[in-house]
Amino acid sequence: MDMNEIKEIFFQECEEQLAELESGLLRLNDGDRDPETVNAVFRAVHSIKGGAGAFGLDDLVSFAHVFETTLDCVRSNKLEPTQDVLKVMLKSADVLADLTNVARDGGSVDQARSLQLIRELEALAKGEAPPAASALEPAAPKAAAAKPAAVAKAAPVEPVVNEHGFAPVAFSFDDFGSDDDETPGDLPAYDIVFKPKSELYTKGNEATLLLRDLSRLGEMSIHCNMDSLPPLDQMDPEAAYFSWKVSIKTDKGEDAVRSVFEFAEWDCDLEVTALETGETTESDSDDLPMQPVPFDLSALDGELDMPLGVVEEEEQIAAVQQAVAAAEAASNVVQMAASASRAAASDKGAATAAAQNNAQQASSAAAQTIRVDLDRVDRLINLVGELVINQAMLSQSVIENDSNGVSSINMGLEELQQLTREIQDSVMAIRAQPVKPVFQRMARTVREIADITGKSVRLVTEGENTEVDKTVIDKLAEPLTHMIRNAVDHGLETPEKRIAAGKNAEGTVKLTAKHRSGRIVIELSDDGAGINREKVRQKAIDNDLIAADANLSDEEIDNLIFHAGFSTADKVSDLSGRGVGMDVVKRSIQALGGRINISSKPGHGSVFTMSLPLTLAVLDGMVVTVAGQTLVVPLTAIVETLQPDAAAIHSFGATQRLISIRNSFCPLVDVGRILNFRATQANPVEGVALLVESEGGGQRALMVDAIQGQRQVVIKSLEANYTHVPGIAAATILGDGRVALILDVDAVVSASRGQSLQLESSLAAAG
């Protein structure tokens, strides 16, 4: 494993931590005050910092550090996580994500934004309201930041001028940069009680290293409590029995003392008490036999102390591999990145613990998940697809040669078919992922746009754990981002207008996902003003999209916004009016085999409904014959099939025909005619009608010549292998080896409404 692979694993881990961070902050924003939530948020930033330190990603480390310091204030109840505080934190989470992306992919971050947030975070940590933007220096590292406090404590000075005209000057030995000049007697003193738990050791942490680091802060004396140590035969060699009481005099401040233990704090009980200058330490009064710790501990400087940035990469890799081997017990790739941080981190032995801390979280997940390269899964899916086709071919040839269908081969084939189906379902399940990460990304989009537009917006998400194929998820983010932008920018009113309309000043955008009849349905609703139909209509007339006297239903007007180049914003804003219109959104959804619809209520907001296939790999379809061609109609679209009766067919206008079904009329659409497979309409009585429901809600009866059967087909992209064909969604290979086209039901239904399919002459060739 080379350094880049380990780094890649670190970035994957970062993605998870960032998601954890964001969902934790959002929970806090919703009023969750569970300390575990705060801890989870803190741990996420902490882990990113730990790993980033190992790879020398300084920008990431320094930002994470400031962020973490402020989070620590929340954790220790010094800072109340109010909405304002959380707003800064959510923005910081965004910047942290940006810094992580830049560290991985290159590029640059918005420095001004990052510096501004650092200042806001620091102000929060100091208990101040976030300052206004000004050109200040970026945050100093923790040690430096801790110094002024310690100095102030060490030398409290009154600004008075004495009789000789001299004013005392604040003075610190730190200014000389030498520890030797310190006068320990005057230094702040701390009492520390350190009780490791067994986990501290099992995670490869070492109390001796922590104590050594502590001893480097100043003059230290120690008492080891061995009271709980059992006799040899009753002891568990890997359990923690020793605990320590330490007195230390140091000018480095309490933060520095605590930071020694910061990576181990979940695995030990720690009490740090700052003593007033001159106060006798508790230990003195306890009469505990404190043992002074020698100054020269050079004999203990083991190989774990590998200064960052000095070691050659090869050495670093060797160290990482060593660490990985040691941590192999809880085998998980994430741990490797964690171990990397352990091996390469600075001489603060505490970094060792960072790795172990990460490893702890990783190992708890290790039991349930493994990371697999997506290519491998894709290969497997492809192979299973071929298996399905092969199995179908085999079935077909057996059926052709065994007309009565009773041979044992036939029986065996049925079982094989079931097995293949199960294998396919299982393989598909591997790729299924919750939509949560995409939804979380949307939270950021909402925040940013709300900031820019000055609107107050709340994003509510539901059904984030709804699973869908990874390819669908990957392609969902872009259209969704655009729709969210639209919803906030155009959909929601300004706070003033909302209040005037009697609404809450804060607008709500709701994003939900659910499974419905074998598809995933994603709804994006806002409680804004709704679509201004008059404006949309006028714009459509201006753009020659519709005739001035066209009689359109509300639904049809609403759907006009999906036309190319349609934008009703009077001014082209930075956000939505970037030339990417809703037509692009519609096209990307359609490219996924999905449909999108809008319904709007003036004054109450709009709802966009997207319906997408759960997978882009297979489809349950009805195989039909149309004008000698074999087509596949997605089963999810079909409501019922019927044999039309001559009496049920009614002519309507010049070319339209209706079919009467249970006392209601439904337009009859000849698929062969719409697709230009034949020049004239076929006789409905000789064919079969498939009653389909389009995403718009309307029903149509699609006329086909005959139904061949129903089967699962493996989708092969027509775009990738040939070219896009209007009215056709994709293609598949049938059991007899022929290519069959999969019908795009929505496109056919739209075409039947008068929006003609722009057929290409190549269609016949494709069939």
Partner 1 sequence: MATKKAARKSLSLAPVLDLNEANVLHGKLMGLRGNPLVIDASAVERVGALCLQVLMAGAKSWEEDKQSFTFAKVSDAFAKTTQLIGVNIDHLVAKEI
Site for partner 1 in 600-619 (CB under 8 A): none
Residue 434, SS3 per DSSP: strand
DSSP 186-221: GS-EEEEEEEE-HHHHHTT--HHHHHHHHHTTSEEE
Closest distance to partner 1 from the beta carbon of 204 (Å): 6
Nearer to partner 1, 210 or 633 (CB): 210
Query: What values do phi and psi take at 704, rounded to 5?
Result: -130, 165
Closest distance to partner 1 from the beta carbon of 220 (Å): 9
The only residue of 235, 372, 399, 685 in contact with partner 1, by rule CB under 8 A:
235
How many whole angstroms separate alpha carbon 181 and alpha carbon 130? Answer: 38
Q: Is the dihedral of CA 445, 448, 451, 454 positive or negative?
A: negative
Our finding on whether 322 is near partner 1 (CB under 8 A) is no
Question: Counting Cβ atoms within 10 Å, is residue 138 exposed (0-12), middle (13-18) or buried (19+)?
Answer: middle
Nearer to partner 1, 127 or 237 (CB): 237
Nearer to partner 1, 85 or 210 (CB): 210
CA 49 from centroid of its chain's CA atoms: 19
Our finding on whether 191 is near partner 1 (CB under 8 A) is no
Cα dist from 415 to 158, 383, 397, 421, 422, whole Å: 91, 19, 16, 10, 11
The only residue of 105, 137, 180, 233 in contact with partner 1, by rule CB under 8 A:
233
Edge-to-edge strand list for the sheet holding 243-249: 268-275, 189-196, 243-249, 219-225, 291-292
Closest distance to partner 1 from the beta carbon of 255 (Å): 23
The only residue of 65, 91, 142, 212 in contact with partner 1, by rule CB under 8 A:
212
> Binding segment for partner 1 among 130-138, 198-206, 366-374, 627-635 (CB under 8 A)?
198-206
Closest distance to partner 1 from the beta carbon of 354 (Å): 17
Beta strand 656-661 pairing with 664-670 = antiparallel
> Binding segment for partner 1 among 153-161, 210-218, 337-345, 511-519 (CB under 8 A)?
210-218
**Helix-strand-coil split of the chain, %, nearest 5:** 50, 20, 35
How many whole angstroms separate alpha carbon 501 and alpha carbon 765? Answer: 58
> Binding segment for partner 1 among 104-112, 117-125, 205-213, 362-370 (CB under 8 A)?
205-213
Our finding on whether 224 is near partner 1 (CB under 8 A) is yes
**Based on C-alpha coordinates, what's the Rg of the chain?**
34
Our finding on whether 193 is near partner 1 (CB under 8 A) is no
The only residue of 169, 232, 370, 647 in contact with partner 1, by rule CB under 8 A:
232
Counting residues that bind partner 1 (by CB under 8 A) gives 34
Our finding on whether 222 is near partner 1 (CB under 8 A) is yes
Which residues are within 8 A (CB) of 289 and not within 5 positions of it... i.e. 6 or more apart?
223
375: number of Cβ within 10 Å: 8
Nearer to partner 1, 221 or 461 (CB): 221
Closest distance to partner 1 from the beta carbon of 314 (Å): 23
Closest distance to partner 1 from the beta carbon of 319 (Å): 15
Our finding on whether 502 is near partner 1 (CB under 8 A) is no
Residue 245 contacts residue 291 (beta carbons within 8 Å) = no
Our finding on whether 325 is near partner 1 (CB under 8 A) is no
The only residue of 135, 160, 161, 226 in contact with partner 1, by rule CB under 8 A:
226
Closest distance to partner 1 from the beta carbon of 234 (Å): 8
The only residue of 24, 53, 196, 672 in contact with partner 1, by rule CB under 8 A:
196
Residue 606, SS3 per DSSP: strand
Q: Which two three-digit tokens encode residue 366?
A: 């290790």
Nearer to partner 1, 101 or 322 (CB): 322
Q: Which two three-digit tokens encode residue 656?
A: 């339209």
Our finding on whether 49 is near partner 1 (CB under 8 A) is no
> Binding segment for partner 1 among 230-238, 337-345, 413-421, 444-452 (CB under 8 A)?
230-238
Which residues are registered as beta bridge partners of 292? 221
Our finding on whether 342 is near partner 1 (CB under 8 A) is no
Which residues are within 8 A (CB) of 163 and not within 5 positions of it... i.e. 6 or more apart?
none
Q: Which two three-digit tokens encode residue 287?
A: 């009469």
Q: Which amino acid is at 352?
A: T
Residue 589 contacts residue 727 (beta carbons within 8 Å) = no
Closest distance to partner 1 from the beta carbon of 324 (Å): 15
Nearer to partner 1, 11 or 241 (CB): 241
The contacts found for 677-682 with CB under 8 angstroms, 24 or more apart, are: 677/626, 677/627, 677/628, 677/629, 677/764, 677/767, 678/627, 681/655, 681/657, 682/627
Nearer to partner 1, 363 or 391 (CB): 363
Closest distance to partner 1 from the beta carbon of 373 (Å): 32
Closest distance to partner 1 from the beta carbon of 241 (Å): 5
Tell me, what DSSP letter sits at residue 550? -
Cα dist from 16 to 9, 47, 512, whole Å: 11, 11, 22
Which residues are registered as beta bridge partners of 600? 606
Segment holding 70, helix H or strand E = helix 58-75
Residue 484 contacts residue 446 (beta carbons within 8 Å) = yes
Our finding on whether 328 is near partner 1 (CB under 8 A) is no
Our finding on whether 548 is near partner 1 (CB under 8 A) is no
DSSP 152-175: HHH--------TTSPPP----GGG
Closest distance to partner 1 from the beta carbon of 288 (Å): 10
Our finding on whether 272 is near partner 1 (CB under 8 A) is no
> Binding segment for partner 1 among 146-154, 291-299, 368-376, 432-440 (CB under 8 A)?
291-299
Nearer to partner 1, 199 or 556 (CB): 199
The only residue of 211, 333, 427, 748 in contact with partner 1, by rule CB under 8 A:
211
Our finding on whether 291 is near partner 1 (CB under 8 A) is yes
Closest distance to partner 1 from the beta carbon of 349 (Å): 12
The only residue of 10, 67, 244, 608 in contact with partner 1, by rule CB under 8 A:
244
Q: How far does the chain reach from its first CA to its final CA, in angstroms?
A: 49
How many whole angstroms separate alpha carbon 462 and alpha carbon 609? Answer: 14
The only residue of 112, 144, 157, 300 in contact with partner 1, by rule CB under 8 A:
300
Closest distance to partner 1 from the beta carbon of 264 (Å): 12
Our finding on whether 667 is near partner 1 (CB under 8 A) is no
Closest distance to partner 1 from the beta carbon of 237 (Å): 4
How many whole angstroms separate alpha carbon 47 and alpha carbon 574? Answer: 35
CA 518 from centroid of its chain's CA atoms: 24
Give CA angle at 765 (760, 766), nearest 5°: 85
> Binding segment for partner 1 among 108-116, 233-241, 553-561, 726-734 (CB under 8 A)?
233-241
Q: Which two three-digit tokens encode residue 79?
A: 């800072």
Closest distance to partner 1 from the beta carbon of 214 (Å): 9
Closest distance to partner 1 from the beta carbon of 460 (Å): 48
Q: Which two three-digit tokens encode residue 96?
A: 């942290």
Our finding on whether 204 is near partner 1 (CB under 8 A) is yes
The only residue of 278, 294, 565, 709 in contact with partner 1, by rule CB under 8 A:
294
Our finding on whether 330 is near partner 1 (CB under 8 A) is no
Q: Which two three-digit tokens encode residue 762?
A: 């190549």
How many whole angstroms separate alpha carbon 484 and alpha carbon 440? Answer: 12
Our finding on whether 218 is near partner 1 (CB under 8 A) is no
Closest distance to partner 1 from the beta carbon of 456 (Å): 53
Q: List contacts with partner 1 (CB under 8 A).
A: 196, 201-202, 204, 206-208, 211-212, 215, 222-224, 226, 229-233, 235, 237-238, 240-242, 244, 290-291, 293-294, 297, 299-300, 302
